[in-house]
Amino acid sequence: MIRILLADDQTLIRAGFRALLDTEPDMEVVAEAGTGRDAVRLATRDKPDVILMDIRMPDGDGLAATRAILSDANLAGTRIIILTTFELDEYIAEAVRAGAAGFLVKDTEPAELIRAVRVVHDGDALLSPSVTRRIMAQLASQSRAAAKAVPLEQVTDREREVLALVGEGLNNAEIAERLFITPLTAKTHVSRIMTKLMIRDRSQLVVLAYESGLVKPGWSS
């Protein structure tokens, strides 16, 4: 059962999401928060698997709540999907840097929302290539100075290839097709990279791929 926390200051949006998600046999909304502070408190109490987090909320916004939740070792298994009214919310890049697994616009189709929860729960990142390109290009331009500080010495050449493709927004199946390996092998490479670099989330691998220079702003697949 995927346990979900809804964090949004609009009651109607929370009610709509709850009505949709609670009908799925493998999902349960365990709590609702209307403020950033409540989101942190309820996440600490209920330890949800997935949080749907609005950015703009009173009493601590979604970005601050995301940072607090994902820095808590007791919530290492929690994944956060950022909700936004616009596809390119000004805070999305920082949310991804903080460890959010991806984002959805609030008018996402119901089937896509359900799929997104499952994708993130399974450990993948919810970042399409087109969105990844725009957001991560912004991150790269903000953090060129950090590129030399990214420790990739312990990463093998094959793992660097995989990391670069993760940075382009490819999922395990797409990486497997590109490198002529199995999806399970691709998944194993991604897991090993995370372990070696002590990274908890696939979305942070995307950030690292840009900051390390393995992926350049303006790439095309």
Query: Is the distance from CB of 8 to CB of 34 less than 8 angstroms?
Result: yes
CB atoms within 10 A of CB 208: 22
CB atoms within 10 A of CB 61: 18
The pLDDT of 173-184, averaged and rounded, is 93
Q: Which residue has the higher pLDDT, 88 or 101?
A: 101
Shortest CA distance to 107 belongs to which of 33, 20, 35, 170?
A: 20
In this predicted structure, the answer to whether residue 141 has a pLDDT above a threshold of 70 is: no
Give the pLDDT score at 220: 44
The pLDDT of 91-100, averaged and rounded, is 76
All domains of the chain, ordered by start, with CATH?
Answer: 2-126 (3.40.50.2300), 132-211 (3.40.50.2300)
Q: At 188, is the secondary structure helix, strand, or coil?
A: helix
> Mind listing the pLDDT tens digit for each residue in 146-177?
444 567 888 999 999 999 998 887 888 899 99
Length of the chain as a residue count = 221
> Mind listing the pLDDT tens digit for each residue in 51-92?
999 988 989 889 899 999 999 999 989 999 988 776 555 676
| Residues in Cβ contact with 7 at an 8 Å cutoff, skipping those fewer than 6 apart | 32, 33, 34, 36, 38, 39, 42, 51, 52, 53, 54, 57, 62, 65
In this predicted structure, the answer to whether residue 6 has a pLDDT above a threshold of 60 is: yes
pTM: 0.77
Give the pLDDT score at 104: 83
Shortest CA distance to 79 belongs to which of 36, 122, 114?
A: 122
Percentage of the chain surpassing pLDDT 90? 49
In this predicted structure, the answer to whether residue 179 has a pLDDT above a threshold of 70 is: yes
- Region of poorest pLDDT, from 149-153, 201-205, 217-221: 217-221
Give the pLDDT score at 151: 73
Sheet of strand 79-84: strand arrangement:
27-33, 2-7, 50-54, 79-84, 102-105
Query: Is the distance from CB of 17 to CB of 29 less than 8 angstroms?
Result: yes
